[in-house]
Amino acid sequence: MIIEQKISAVVRDMPPSGIRKFFDIASEMKDCISLGVGEPDFDTPWNIRESAIYSIEAGRTHYTSNHGSTELRRAIRDYMDMRFDLSYELNQILVTVGASEGLDLAFRALMNPGDEVIVPAPSYVAYMPGVTLAGGKPVPMILTEQDNFRITPESLLSAITKKSKAVIVAFPNNPTGAIMTKEDYEKIADIIIEHDLIVIADEVYAELTYDKRHFSIAQLPGMQERTVVISGFSKAFAMTGFRLGYAAGPKPLIDAMVKIHQYSMLCAAAMSQDAGAEAMRYECSHGFPQVKQMVKEYNRRRRLVYSAFNEMGLKCFEPLGAFYIFPNISSTGLKSDEFCKRLLFEKKVACVPGTAFGESVDSYMRCSYATSYENLKEALSRIKEFVQSLKS
Ligand SMILES: Cc1ncc(COP(=O)(O)O)c(C=O)c1O
């Protein structure tokens, strides 16, 4: 038997993530500095870890309700209310295995064969394959640096067809660090309503903004009823390994997502749910002290990388959220794959080529500043040397 021939054609034809390729090489390389990772370098705050330990000690090691534990869903409900003025019933909230599962469930619950989902380009690497695996068709919506990588009425309209069913809205954005304000959303809301689109709002970086507080598109009039907010604990609370997220949205859509979830995941890990409930309750009641501390440090690093890239001649857009910066490398004459490959082999710095996030951004690279200030300084000095070497 030739196993390769048995693999689904959709999976076989799917390219592997452009991020992994580089990091497999970088992880084997001595003295390599990685600016590639999309995860906080902070330890999960102790009270959150302790609540997971206590959860196990107390024997909370069983399945929870498919929707997620009531304590956690109450904490999420209170958070959404307090932070974004969005009210949800408990049955409109589903606890998932990371935001990743929430996205997958939303795609699978919505797609009929051939349905189109408008996907921002550049954007997080999992959207396009996720839509394809669910039987839908991802349609790129090109976002440009001139528009500060925000969705404009023009970019949205150019991606809409008769088959469009949903649009992904993902701010603060990975990989650009762009955010959208209330005013930006107001400009596209009527188009979304007129074309009867569902909004899949990936808000995993909602807590990581540096200038303005995050505004959710679901907060606009007429939007909550057509928006599923997907979020999670990985980024704000440095809890990537807990694999915990949630979806909040219209009951019929959440019901459909629960149906898939109960046949696939059943529930997120019980001890992770207890830890998540502690994270949200503690942060909400104490004014987000631990999140604020991490954001303060990310902001210090953000200022460092933003000025260093501009000074070395790699002009970049100022990121206002998440922990990524997206320098424009066109002045070097190299395309992103070549630039990142040579940077890795010649200077031992790993960054992600723009093409990992969409073909339209081949003259950019993504650098994560979720690594120590010292590491960043060293990496920036190596990148500067590399850029200078290209000129000589
Ligand atoms: C935009 C975006 N959405 C979702 C995820 C996945 O998050 P989680 O760890 O909650 O599954 C990531 C991870 O990098 C991300 O960048």
Instruction: List Cα–Cα distances, 258 to 134, 141, 264, 319, 379, in angstroms.
Output: 16, 29, 10, 35, 44
pTM score:
0.96
| Interval between CA 331 and ligand 1 midpoint (Å) | 31
Q: Which of 174, 265, 352 to mutate to test the pocket of ligand 1 (most atoms within 8 A of CB)?
A: 174
Mutate to test the pocket of ligand 1, among 44, 95, 96, 124 (most ligand atoms within 8 A of CB): 124
CA 340 / ligand 1 centre spacing (Å): 23
Domain 48-286 in CATH 3.30.2350.10? The answer is no
Q: What is the pLDDT of residue 376?
A: 97
User: Half-sphere exposure of 336 toward its Cβ, with a 13 Å CA cutoff?
Assistant: 23
User: How far is CA 284 from its chain centroid?
Assistant: 22
Higher-pLDDT residue of 25, 204: 204
pLDDT at 18 over 70: no
Task: Determine the Cα–Cα distance for residues 251 and 248; give it in Å rounded to an integer.
Answer: 9
Per-residue pLDDT, averaged over 40-68, amounts to 97
CA–CA distance, 231 with 234 (Å, rounded to integer): 9
Does ligand 1 have an atom closer than 6 angstroms to the CB of 124? yes
- The rounded Å distance from CA 78 to ligand 1 centre is 22
State the Cα–Cα distance between residues 156 and 119, nearest whole angstrom: 10
| 100 touches ligand 1 (CB under 6 Å) | yes
Average pLDDT, the chain: 95
Kindly report the number of other CB atoms within 10 A of residue 318's CB atom: 14
Chain-centroid distance, C-alpha 245: 12
Helices (H), the chain: 3-6, 9-12, 18-28, 46-57, 70-84, 98-110, 127-133, 153-159, 182-194, 251-264, 270-286, 289-311, 336-347, 373-391
Please write the tens of the pLDDT for every residue from 344-385.
999 999 999 999 998 899 999 999 999 999 999 999 999 999
Ligand 1 centroid, distance to 158 Cα (angstroms): 27
CATH 3.90.1150.10 assigned to domain 3-44+290-391? The reply is yes
Residue extents of the structural domains in the chain: 3-44+290-391, 48-286
pLDDT at 37: 83
Per-residue pLDDT, averaged over 274-291, amounts to 94
Q: What is the mean pLDDT of residues 326-333?
A: 95
For residue 136, what pLDDT is reported?
97
Secondary structure E strands in 170-240: 198-202, 227-232
**In a 3-state reduction of DSSP, which class is residue 169?**
strand
- Cβ atoms 199, 222 nearer than 8 A: no
| Nearest-angstrom CA–CA distance, 323 and 372 | 12
Ligand 1 contact, 138 CB (< 6 A): no
Spatial separation of the C-alpha atoms in residues 292 and 274, rounded to whole Å: 22
* Residues 117, 167 contacting (CB under 8 angstroms): yes
pLDDT band of 211, cuts 50, 70, 90:
confident
pLDDT in tens, 106-139: 999 999 999 999 999 999 999 999 999 999 999 9
Q: How far apart are CA 2 and CA 345, in angstroms?
A: 36
Percent of the chain whose predicted confidence (pLDDT) is above 90: 91
Using alpha carbons, select from 339, 356, 323 the residue that is nearest to residue 124.
Answer: 356
pLDDT for 333 beyond 70:
yes
pLDDT exceeds cutoff 90 at 76: yes
Helix (H) or strand (E) holding 41: none
Instruction: Give the pLDDT confidence of 188-200 residue by residue, as tens digits.
Output: 999 999 999 999 9
| CA 216 – CA 223 distance, rounded (Å) | 10
Structural contact between residues 192 and 167, judged by C-beta atoms closer than 8 angstroms:
yes
Condensed to tens digits (0 to 9), the pLDDT of residues 297-324 reads 999 999 999 999 999 999 999 999 999 9
The answer on pLDDT for 17 being more than 80 is no
Q: Is 356 in the pocket of ligand 1 (CB under 6 A)?
A: no
- Average pLDDT for residues 240-245, to the nearest whole number? 98
State yes or no: pLDDT of 227 exceeds 90.
Answer: yes
pLDDT of the residue at 26: 82
The residue written with tokens 């907060």 in the block is: 219
Q: In a 3-state reduction of DSSP, which class is residue 230?
A: strand
240, 236, 229: which is closest to 272 by C-alpha?
Answer: 240
- Region of residue 333 (left: phi > 0; alpha: psi -120 to 50; beta: else): left
> What's the average model confidence in pLDDT over 7-34?
84
What distance in Å separates the CA atoms of residue 306 and residue 315, rounded to the nearest whole number? Answer: 9
Find, among 24, 120, 18, the residue nearest to 337 by Cα: 18
Mean pLDDT throughout 6-33? 84
3-state secondary structure of 247: strand
Evaluate: CB of 122 within 6 angstroms of ligand 1.
Answer: no
- Position 23 scores a pLDDT of 77
Residue closest by Cα to atom 15 of ligand 1:
124
For residues 345 and 190, what is the distance between their CA atoms, to the nearest angstrom? 49
User: 253 CA distance to ligand 1 centroid (A)?
Assistant: 21
174 lines ligand 1 (CB under 6 A): yes
